[in-house]
Amino acid sequence: MPFPELPAATPLSWYLLLSAILFSLGVAGFLFRKNIITIFMSIELMLNAVNLTFVAFSYQFKQVDGHIFSFFVMVVAAAEAAVGLGIILTVFKNRNTLHVDEVDTLKN
């Protein structure tokens, strides 16, 4: 066989590890990117990673509570996207830039 032997059922730790990788990539995007919209999308990526952990533990404990929590996370993300994109539009209207380093009024 060219492939290594796979277990018959996916271990729960694989899901948790995937979630950790996605969360770390979200953190990296949040820290390294300079475009404010890309930073916002990195936050959405982190929220998605946390949702995956909730659903995986919900499977493990055979209870529906994790689904409810990830549902609430989705609702909060939707509200956050609406308000955050409104803020981005206002910033762009006032300063004509999306670069976060150029929005530095409080620094001076």
Partner 1 sequence: MPTPPPLDPVLFLIFAAIAVISAISLVVQTHPISSALSLVGVMGSLAVLYLLLGAEFIAAAQLIVYAGAIMVLFIFVIMLLNAGTEKATNRASFAKWAGIPVFALFIGLMSYLINSRLATGPGVTLGGFTGGGALEIGRSLFTTYLLPFEVTSVLILIAIFGAIVLARKEI
Region at 96 (left for phi over 0; alpha for psi -120 to 50; beta for the rest): left
Count of residues that interact with partner 1, criterion CB under 8 A? 73
* Residue 76 touches partner 1, criterion: CB under 8 A: yes
| Secondary structure element (H or E) that encloses residue 57, with its range | helix 36-61
* Residue 95 touches partner 1, criterion: CB under 8 A: no
Residue 103: CB minimum distance to partner 1, A: 14
Region at 35 (left for phi over 0; alpha for psi -120 to 50; beta for the rest): beta
User: Within 28-47, which residues bind partner 1 (CB under 8 A)?
Assistant: 28-29, 31-35, 37-38, 40-42, 44-45
Q: Which is nearer to partner 1, 52 or 103 (CB)?
A: 52
Q: Which is nearer to partner 1, 15 or 103 (CB)?
A: 15
Q: Count Cβ atoms below 10 Å from residue 23 Cβ, excluding itself.
A: 18
